[in-house]
Amino acid sequence: MSILSWTKEETIAIITMSNGENRQNLEFAQTMNTTLDEIVADTTVQALILTSSDEKNFSQGVDVGWMAARFQNKEFQAIKDFMYGMNEVFKKLMLVPMPTIAAINGHAFGNGAIISCACDYRFMRSDKGFFCFPEVNVGIPLLYGMNAFVKKAIPLYKLVEMQFSGNRYGAPELEQHHIITKACANKDELMKESLAFSRTFQKKRGILGEMKKRMYRDIIEVMDTMDPEVSIEPMILMIPD
C-alpha cells in the first residue's frame, strides 16, 4: 500500500495520505518531502490540499511502534533522520509558494494535528474525528520549532489549554476559536469546501513565496537552530522502551 499520492484538479494539487491511520515514520517523511518537491516543481499549481483517504483518520501522528523498535535496536540515527525529515516537511509546507489547506477528514492527533498547523488554513468535518495534542500524556514534549509554528494556527490561550490538558476537540469548537476556517458537515462537504476555497487563490507564486519567507522567518530560525542543538538529542533519550 502506498503511503500517499498526489493528483491535480485543475490548478490545485491534492496530497492524499493513504496508509490507514497515516502514522508518521522515516518513510513517511521521505515520501512527503519528495511529493512536496514534485508539486512545487509543477509551476501550474496554485494551491495545495492535504487530506487522507481513511474513513476515520487524518493522521494519528508519530508511528510509535516504529520509533520503539528503532530505539530498542539502538538505531538512533534513523530516529534523528525522521525528526529532521519531519522538520523539513513542516518547513516546506510553510514556505511553498502557494496556499496550503489541511482538509481534516478524521482524527488528527499529535503530529497529525501538528502537520495541519504547518498549513496556512484548516478545514475539518464535524461528523467524525477529533483534534488533539496528547504529548502531555505520553511524556514527549513538542520541539521548539513545532511550538513556534503551531502558534501561528492556534491562539496562545487555547494552545495552552490544549497542550497542558491533552483533551480532544471537535470541529465546531475549533471553528469557534478560529483554529479551523470552517467546520464542514461531512467528508463530501469537506472536500467541496476545501476545493472551493482553494480556487479563490490566483496569486503569483513569486510574491506569495517571498511573503511566506518573511512572515515565517522567525519560525524557520527556531527550527534550524534550537531544534538540533537543544531538543532532538534529549528527545531520543525520552522515548520509552
Q: What is the mean pLDDT of the chain?
A: 92
- 58 vs 79, residue with greater confidence: 58
pTM: 0.93
Q: Is 222 domain-assigned?
A: no
100 compared with 144, residue with greater pLDDT: 100
Instruction: Say if 183 falls within a structural domain.
Output: yes
CATH (domain of 147): 3.90.226.10
Pairwise CA distance, residues 199 & 181, whole Å: 15
22: left (phi over 0), alpha (psi -120 to 50) or beta: left
> pLDDT tens digit string along 22-41?
999 999 999 999 999 999 99
Kindly report, residue by residue over 163-203, the tens digit of the pLDDT: 999 999 999 999 999 999 999 999 999 999 999 999 998 88
Does residue 72 form part of some domain?
Answer: yes
Nearest Cα to Cα of residue 141 among 222, 74, 17, 236: 236
User: Is 180 a domain residue?
Assistant: yes
How many Å apart are CA 220 and CA 234, to the nearest integer?
Answer: 21
75-96: b or e for each residue (b if 16 or more CB lie within 10 Å)? eeebbbebbebbbebbbbbbbb
Is 203 part of a structural domain of the chain?
Answer: no
Q: What is the tally of structural domains in the chain?
A: 1
Q: Would 60 be classed as within a structural domain?
A: yes
Which H or E run contains 65? Answer: helix 64-72
